[in-house]
């Protein structure tokens, strides 16, 4: 069971550490202090995950069971690789039998059982390379992609939503029937056309805000569960929004 860190920690590091002023800007110093005192960061180090983001996926899975039974997983915007670590474990992926493909334009250190592609997902060759890497239809497509920030909130929102939309269309094109799609989005509204498309192709579409996502962060995750299959989705026009799924989640 994934539990939020308690008030203390098991790393030996004290909570509430301060960073010496030195030549750092005040904003940079505050960011570093928040990071080193974050109990999820400390827990990630203790449990061997590359980033605190691991707990976002684990918490979402604890409630929604999207990792259960997954045989192949594609991880978009994967660096530094904490979601891929989890994916390799749940699929039993090995270097001899690759079942997880990860892509990011940033460099990512190798992981056992993960085929890492250092490539922009928007590259025309990226989708086929990902499919070739896992050797079959994935049961889960996960995306933690976010566009580099410009400082202009509306622009940043639109750029990241574009990545979410491209990832969603990719998922519909490649997922095995019954599969799931999870992608980062931002508070401020998801495009209506994207939601309509997902509702046509999945049995349930909801927004999720895991506890490990910082309260002040505008990030949320768009979760589409139960892919209907390409033949079925082409034939069906009805939408099924699913039931209310808890106080932290909202049906769309």
β-pair partners for 206? 223, 251
* Residue entry with tokens 């005192």: 37
Q: For 103-109, which contacts have Cβ atoms below 8 Å and span 24 or more sequence positions?
A: 103/74, 103/75, 103/76, 103/77, 103/78, 103/129, 103/130, 104/77, 104/78, 104/79, 106/79, 107/79, 108/78, 108/79, 108/80, 108/81, 109/80, 109/81
Q: How far is CA 31 from CA 5, 27, 38, 91, 118, in A?
A: 20, 6, 10, 35, 28
242: region left, alpha or beta (phi > 0 left; psi from -120 to 50 alpha) = left
Q: Name the active-site residue from 184, 199, 225, 228.
A: 184
Q: Which of 21, 57, 12, 19 is nearest to 35 (CA)?
A: 19
184 is catalytic: yes
Task: Evaluate whether 145 touches 164 at the Cβ level (below 8 Å).
Answer: yes
Catalytic residues: 184
């Amino acid at each position: 069971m994934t539990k939020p860190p308690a008030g203390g920690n098991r790393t030996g590091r004290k909570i509430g550490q301060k960073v010496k002023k030195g030549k750092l800007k005040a904003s940079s110093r505050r960011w570093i202090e928040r990071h080193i005192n974050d109990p999820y960061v400390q827990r990630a180090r203790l449990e061997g995950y590359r980033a605190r983001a691991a707990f976002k996926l684990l918490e979402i899975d604890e409630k929604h069971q999207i990792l259960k039974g997954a045989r192949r997983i594609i991880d978009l915007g994967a660096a530094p690789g904490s979601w891929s670590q989890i994916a390799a474990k749940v699929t039993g992926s090995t270097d001899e039998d690759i079942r997880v493909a990860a892509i990011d334009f940033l460099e990512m250190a190798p992981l056992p059982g993960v085929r890492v592609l250092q490539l922009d997902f928007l590259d025309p060759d990226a989708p086929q390379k990902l499919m070739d890497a896992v050797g079959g239809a994935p049961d889960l497509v996960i995306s933690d992609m976010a566009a580099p920030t410009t400082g202009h909130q509306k622009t940043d929102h639109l750029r990241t939503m574009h990545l979410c939309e491209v990832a969603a269309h990719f998922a519909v094109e490649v997922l095995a029937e019954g599969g799931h799609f999870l992608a980062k989005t931002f508070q401020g509204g998801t495009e209506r056309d994207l939601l309509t498309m997902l509702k046509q192709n999945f049995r349930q579409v909801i927004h999720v805000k895991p506890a490990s996502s910082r309260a002040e962060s505008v990030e949320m995750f768009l979760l589409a569960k139960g892919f209907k299959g390409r033949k079925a989705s082409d034939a069906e026009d009805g939408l099924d929004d699913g039931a209310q799924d808890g106080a932290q989640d909202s049906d769309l």
